[in-house]
């Protein structure tokens, strides 16, 4: 153990080092803003060279984390003496943790506020009959030719969707929706599968700028043809299931809900593995607006922003934040306040939400249960948003113990270690350079 000044130590568990956080001994001891710089960088947690299961590529999802995190988190929890049977992901996104849990025949409980996320996650947890799926895909393709061109969507949804599509593309997508709806039953498993396939092609068939995680039109883009894209997507999903073992997956629970208010799991969890949303980084409701509108999750996708953690539209009154934020959160909010008051209020709301979320994790876990959070630090108006440091403080306040931290490189490509705003790897250390690594914060319930 190597002691370090602010009350932490590096714990070398057989080369798997983590920075162990201890409470500062003196009450009111100043918190070092950059204290987590001392956390070891672990190549063990870097993206694995081998390809992850194909099922993880059936639908693009921003900030999806690699399946490797799951394996590493289980190893960590096991080393802490936890027998892992029930796993949760409170920000389950596209269901990476769900799928990895299910294939190991363990129980899964999760939630996400984004209906497109829970759609993808549910589909990842399914093992459809491949023959039935192919037959249904063929019937939908056939029906497409004669399907109605009249949309059943509300005029508001249509008016929001049409600017994103060339006229012929929009008409073809309406036909495809109608074909899917006539060939599958409402609320059936088959509907879910084809809704997911439809959602996956909603952007490639539009003028949405390729790879953009912000709503941006690209007029010159040649959109992918609708029917061929759908058929290709169905083949991709088939290949993913064909690659997986034929065993059926155990039942799982996925709730489309706000983690702050969702009724917790009926039986306590042994391990929570999750990656929280970043502050003002992605507007998930905006990123998935095409899918959300087509699938009738909302008439106006902006309604889906409500309660999303990290959205700029949530703001907290600063005097309330002053009374309730932990000292790390407060310090960062005030740094940002000097540059931009509105952003500081949104950041305060984000930190307050995360404090509440960690409290909920405490409630969801059994005594001795472990939380593994993967968090990245970001930057707003040149202020470093030290999410990992804030998270550590949340764990301390919520009464967790054995809190430890490591850094994981975001790329296994040492020549291009940085990520640009569009997600591409690059060798240029820009302001996005901070995305070259992220933190794994682990804590155990007493
Ligand atoms: C970083 S992503 C998780 C990605 C996931 N690990 C995966 O592999 O796909 C964060 C997720 O938090 C969700 N989220 C944001 N606010 C939420 C809330 N209040 N309750 C539940 N989920 C929320 C977003 O919809 C998003 O899917």
CATH number, residue 90: 3.40.50.150
Distance (Å, rounded) from C-alpha 242 to C-alpha 321?
51
**Contacts of the segment 14-23: beta carbons below 8 A, 24+ positions apart:** 15/44, 16/42, 16/44, 16/79, 17/42, 17/406, 18/42, 18/404, 18/405, 18/406, 18/442, 19/404, 19/405, 19/406, 20/402, 20/403, 20/404, 21/392, 21/395, 21/396, 21/403, 21/404, 21/405, 23/396
**Banded model confidence at residue 252, pLDDT cuts 50, 70, 90:** very high
Does residue 61 line the site of ligand 1, with CB under 6 A? yes
Pair 377, 269 in one domain: yes
CA atoms within 13 A on the CB side of 419: 15
**Banded model confidence at residue 327, pLDDT cuts 50, 70, 90:** very high
Q: Which of 198, 219, 243 is the last residue of a domain?
A: 243
Question: What are the percentages of helix, strand and coil residues in the chain, rounded to 5?
Answer: 45, 15, 40
Q: Domain for residue 294, yes or no?
A: no
Pair 13, 58 in one domain: yes
Strands of 86-89's sheet in order across: 2-4, 8-13, 16-21, 400-409, 437-445, 365-375, 269-274, 86-89, 107-112, 253-256
Distance (Å, rounded) from C-alpha 150 to C-alpha 292?
19
Distance (Å, rounded) from C-alpha 161 to C-alpha 154?
11
Nearest atom in ligand 1 to 307's CA: 19
Both tokens assigned to 140: 């939908």
Pair 231, 263 in one domain: no
Give the Cβ contact number of residue 5 at 10 Å. Answer: 8
Does residue 275 line the site of ligand 1, with CB under 6 A? yes
Give, using CA atoms, the residue closest to atom 5 of ligand 1: 93
Give the Å distances, CA to CA, from 101 to 84, 95, 268, 339, 375.
Answer: 10, 10, 16, 43, 21
Does residue 117 line the site of ligand 1, with CB under 6 A? yes
pLDDT at 14: 41
Q: Domain for residue 13, yes or no?
A: yes
Pocket test for ligand 1, best of 60, 258, 277 (most atoms within 8 A of CB): 277
Please give the residue range of the domain that contains residue 389: 2-127+247-275+315-445
Task: Decide if pLDDT at 26 tops 60.
Answer: no
Pair 85, 192 in one domain: no
pLDDT at 108: 98
DSSP state of 66: P
Pair 268, 320 in one domain: yes
Pair 77, 162 in one domain: no
Q: How far is the CA of 4 from the centre of ligand 1 (A)?
A: 34
Pair 152, 208 in one domain: yes
3-state class (DSSP) for residue 89 = strand
Task: Decide if pLDDT at 246 tops 80.
Answer: no
Tens of pLDDT along 122-143?
999 999 999 999 999 999 999 9
By the 8 A CB rule, do 328 and 31 touch? yes
Q: Domain for residue 281, yes or no?
A: no
Task: Decide if pLDDT at 421 tops 80.
Answer: no
Q: How far is the CA of 158 from the centre of ligand 1 (A)?
A: 27
Give, using CA atoms, the residue closest to atom 26 of ligand 1: 93
Angle (CA) 120 62 173, round 5°: 55
Does residue 278 line the site of ligand 1, with CB under 6 A? no
Rg (CA), the chain: 23
pLDDT at 4: 32
Pair 264, 409 in one domain: yes
Pair 137, 91 in one domain: no
More confident residue, 360 or 430: 360
Pair 144, 101 in one domain: no
Give, using CA atoms, the residue closest to atom 11 of ligand 1: 91
Q: Domain for residue 369, yes or no?
A: yes
Give the Cβ contact number of residue 3 at 10 Å. Answer: 9
Q: How far is the CA of 309 from the centre of ligand 1 (A)?
A: 8
Pair 95, 148 in one domain: no
What proportion of the chain, given as a percentage, has pLDDT over 90? 75
**Banded model confidence at residue 31, pLDDT cuts 50, 70, 90:** low
Task: Decide if pLDDT at 402 tops 90.
Answer: yes
pLDDT at 3: 27
Does residue 52 line the site of ligand 1, with CB under 6 A? no
Pair 111, 202 in one domain: no
Mean pLDDT throughout 345-370?
Answer: 97
Tell me the whole-structure pTM to 2 decimals: 0.92
Q: Domain for residue 292, yes or no?
A: no
Q: How far is the CA of 277 from the centre of ligand 1 (A)?
A: 6
How do 8-13 and 16-21 pair as beta strands?
Answer: antiparallel
Does residue 157 line the site of ligand 1, with CB under 6 A? no
Q: How far is the CA of 157 from the centre of ligand 1 (A)?
A: 24
What proportion of the chain, given as a percentage, has pLDDT over 70? 88
Q: How many domains does the chain have?
A: 2
């Amino acid at each position: 153990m190597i002691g370090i000044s602010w009350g932490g130590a590096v714990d070398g568990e057989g080369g798997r080092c983590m920075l162990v956080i201890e409470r500062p001994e003196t009450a009111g001891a100043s918190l070092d803003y950059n204290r987590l710089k001392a956390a070891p960088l672990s190549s063990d947690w870097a993206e694995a060279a081998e390809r992850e299961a194909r099922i993880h590529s059936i639908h693009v999802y921003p900030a999806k984390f690699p399946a490797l995190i799951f394996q590493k988190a289980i190893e960590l929890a096991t080393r802490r003496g936890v027998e892992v049977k029930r796993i949760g992901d409170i920000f389950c996104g596209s269901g990476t943790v769900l799928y990895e849990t299910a294939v190991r025949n363990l129980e899964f409980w999760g939630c996400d506020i984004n209906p497109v996320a829970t759609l993808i996650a549910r589909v990842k947890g399914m093992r459809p009959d491949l023959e039935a799926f192919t037959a249904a895909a063929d019937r939908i393709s056939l029906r497409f030719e004669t399907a109605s061109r009249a949309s059943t969507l509300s005029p508001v949804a249509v008016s929001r969707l049409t600017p994103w599509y060339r006229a012929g593309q929009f008409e073809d997508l309406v036909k495809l929706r109608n074909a899917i709806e006539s060939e599958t039953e409402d609320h059936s498993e088959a509907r879910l599968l084809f809704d997911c396939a439809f959602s996956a092609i909603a952007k490639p068939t539009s003028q949405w700028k390729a790879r953009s995680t912000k709503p941006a039109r690209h007029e010159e883009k040649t959109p992918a043809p609708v029917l061929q894209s759908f058929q290709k997507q169905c083949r991709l999903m088939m290949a993913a299931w064909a690659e997986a073992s034929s065993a059926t997956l155990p039942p799982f629970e996925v709730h489309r809900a706000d983690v702050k208010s969702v009724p917790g799991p009926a039986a306590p969890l042994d391990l929570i593995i999750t990656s929280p949303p970043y502050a003002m980084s992605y507007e998930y409701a905006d990123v998935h607006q095409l899918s959300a509108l087509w699938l009738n999750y909302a008439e106006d996708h902006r309604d889906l922003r409500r309660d999303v953690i990290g959205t700029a539209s949530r703001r907290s009154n600063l005097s309330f934040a002053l009374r309730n934020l932990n000292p790390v959160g407060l310090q960062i909010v005030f740094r940002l306040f000097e540059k931009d008051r509105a952003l500081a209020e949104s950041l305060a709301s984000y930190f307050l939400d995360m404090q509440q979320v960690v409290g909920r994790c405490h409630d969801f876990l059994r005594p001795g249960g472990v939380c593994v959070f993967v968090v990245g630090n970001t930057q707003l108006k040149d202020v470093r948003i030290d999410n990992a440091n804030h998270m550590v403080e949340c764990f301390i306040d919520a009464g967790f113990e054995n809190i430890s931290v490591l850094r994981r490189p975001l790329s296994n490509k040492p020549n291009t270690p940085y990520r640009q705003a569009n997600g591409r790897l690059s060798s240029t250390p820009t302001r996005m350079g901070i995305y070259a690594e992220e933190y794994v914060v682990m804590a155990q319930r007493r």
